[in-house]
Amino acid sequence: MHIPDGVIPATVAVGSYVVAGAITAYAVNNVNKAGNAQEQVPKAALLTAAFFVTSLIHIPIPPTSVHLLLSGLMGALLGYFAMPAILVGLILQAIMFGHGGLTTIGVNALILGVPALMSHHLFELLKNRLPEKNGLTIAGFVAGGSGIGFSVLLFFAILIGTIPADMLDVDLERQAITALTIAHLPLILVEGVATAMLVNYLKRVKPELLKGLSDARA
Amino acid sequence: MISWRQSSTIWVLATVLTTALVWFLTENVPFAGAHGTAIDYSLAVTVDIQAAYDSGEPMSEAQVTVYAPSDPETPFLQGIADENGRFIFEPDTNDVGLWSVSVRTAGHGEIINIPVSQDEISGAGGGGLSNLQRMVIAAAVIWGFVGTALYYQAKPVKPKNDE
């Protein structure tokens, strides 16, 4: 679910770069304010590696195939660090494999990064408000699933809103985008469950990894 | 000695056979029961586009737009690839230069440039990375991230006290 070069208008690509740059600066500023950024680097590096490699793993969902996005998981585990981590992952995917494009790194960073930040806040909110017994599981599921849902929604809105009027068959393109969006919906469940399982596992074996930047600040 | 009746029969038969033969050769009427084929050909320079995702899945019914070098703003040709992602077109070889072909479906696609000269189209292009190349690149990048993680994870080593 990476938008490649030449698909969106140049104005949208440039505008996305500006907005993504501003959000990344805000995120990095928050990382620096927390004061424990270096402690978070190993976790961020490993999750960036996971994010980078998941674009190579295709899951067949007829009539197409999709790959894991990890935006919700990155947000839940990395907090504000998710935004620069996703940006680095996207740049490497574009350069190494041609996934996405160099002109569309901004818009792809928005599609995956903004939902990651939203998932981070949702995870922190639910984790602290829900009962201890199953609270972490529910928070992980909601954060992981909603991150994907929001990413898919942004992807759909941007592509539908930028279909060139001079395309041969606009309706056919609209149908194709809708079909691809629907094919991604099962990922909400898959990544929600995966995030819930991972946070539970980390709580048992290495609970300090669940301490985000906000915990360190408190 | 051939009689007048026999002679006229031969002439009529010969005329009918000759007419039938000429008709067959000119109109190409196949004999009943023969496995007749009609294969026409003409020499033309064509471009065969095979569009697929990097997973190998064909880009079924992708929309293809072709731009000629002389007018890169106005589409020379627009069409839709078949269910196997295949699209064939014939460029105007008098329009020499880089022909741009845009293939798009569901917000995915690519623009490729094909060099066309008076009498040929330069080679075959595309293909991307092989699976082995992808694996090697992925392994190298992952190792870079793991190395970064280990570097930041490592605790500073205290200098040994000689005494």
Domain boundaries, position A56: 10-217
Cβ distance of A176 and B141 shorter than 8 Å: no
Question: What percentage of chain A exceeds 90 in pLDDT?
Answer: 65
Q: How many CB atoms lie within 10 A of CB A132?
A: 7
Its sign, for the CA torsion A180, A186, A192, A198, is negative
Using CA atoms, how far apart are residues A28 and A12, in angstroms rounded to an integer? 24
In this structure, is residue A1 part of a structural domain?
no
> For A15, how many CA atoms within 13 A lie in the half-sphere containing its CB?
6
Q: What is the pLDDT of residues A152-202, one digit of tens each?
A: 999 999 999 999 888 888 999 999 999 989 999 999 999 999 999 999 999
DSSP summary character for residue B109: E
Using CA atoms, how far apart are residues A4 and A1, in angstroms rounded to an integer? 9
ipTM: 0.73
The answer to whether residue A213 scores a pLDDT higher than 70 is: no
Which of B54, B111, B153 lies at the smallest CB-CB distance from A6? B111
Closest CA to A31 of A85, A71, A109: A85
The answer to whether residue A217 scores a pLDDT higher than 60 is: no
Contact A75, A210 (CB under 8 A): no
Using CA atoms, how far apart are residues A49 and B103, in angstroms rounded to an integer? 31
Of residues B156 and A46, more confidence is placed in: A46
Count of structural domains within chain A = 1
Contact B116, B96 (CB under 8 A): yes
List of chain A residues whose C-beta atoms are within 8 Å of the C-beta of residue B80:
168-169, 172
What pLDDT was estimated at residue B32? 47
In this structure, is residue A21 part of a structural domain?
yes
What pLDDT was estimated at residue A13? 95
* Best residue of B104, B110, B132, B136 to probe chain A, by most A CBs closer than 10 Å: B104
Give residue A74's Cα distance to chain centre: 7
Residues near B5 by beta carbon (within 8 Å), at least 6 away in sequence: none
List of chain B residues whose C-beta atoms are within 8 Å of the C-beta of residue A9:
none
- CATH number of the domain that residue A212 is part of: 1.10.1760.20
List of chain A residues whose C-beta atoms are within 8 Å of the C-beta of residue B149:
41-43, 45-46
Using CA atoms, how far apart are residues A175 and A155, in angstroms rounded to an integer? 14
CATH of domain B47-116: 2.60.40.10
Cβ distance of A168 and B104 shorter than 8 Å: no
Under 8 Å CB pairs connecting chains A and B tally to: 94
Using CA atoms, how far apart are residues B20 and B30, in angstroms rounded to an integer? 12
The answer to whether residue A216 scores a pLDDT higher than 60 is: no
Contact A93, A69 (CB under 8 A): no
Contact A53, B142 (CB under 8 A): yes
Which of the residues in chain B have pLDDT under 70?
A: 1-6, 20-37, 42-43, 119-128, 160-163
Of residues B19 and A52, more confidence is placed in: A52
Using CA atoms, how far apart are residues A176 and B163, in angstroms rounded to an integer? 74
The answer to whether residue A128 scores a pLDDT higher than 70 is: yes
Using CA atoms, how far apart are residues A74 and A87, in angstroms rounded to an integer? 12
Which of B57, B106, B137 lies at the smallest CB-CB distance from A65? B57
Which of A43, A53, A98 lies at the smallest CB-CB distance from B138? A53
Contact A13, A20 (CB under 8 A): no
- Scanning every residue of chain B, which has its alpha carbon at the shortest distance from the alpha carbon of A88? B145
- Scanning every residue of chain A, which has its alpha carbon at the shortest distance from the alpha carbon of B75? A166
Q: How many CB atoms lie within 10 A of CB B82?
A: 13
In this structure, is residue A57 part of a structural domain?
yes
What pLDDT was estimated at residue B1? 57
Beta bridge partner(s), residue B98: B115
Coil/strand/helix, residue A113: helix
Phi, psi of B33 (to 5 degrees): 90, -15
Which of B63, B106, B152 lies at the smallest CB-CB distance from A179? B106
Chain A positions with Cβ closer than 8 Å to B:
3-7, 38-39, 41-43, 45-46, 48-49, 52-53, 56, 58, 64-65, 92, 96-99, 155, 159, 166-169, 172-173, 176-177, 179-180
Peptide bond into A63 cis (omega under 30): yes
What pLDDT was estimated at residue A111? 96
Q: How many residues does chain A have?
A: 218
What pLDDT was estimated at residue A75? 95
Cβ distance of A45 and B145 shorter than 8 Å: yes
* Best residue of B77, B151, B152 to probe chain A, by most A CBs closer than 10 Å: B152
Nearest-CA distance A133 → chain B (Å): 31
Q: What is the pLDDT of residues A57-71, one digit of tens each?
A: 888 877 677 888 999
Nearest-CA distance B101 → chain A (Å): 12
Nearest-CA distance A130 → chain B (Å): 32
Using CA atoms, how far apart are residues A50 and A18, in angstroms rounded to an integer? 27
* Best residue of B130, B141, B151 to probe chain A, by most A CBs closer than 10 Å: B141
A82's tokens: 């998710």
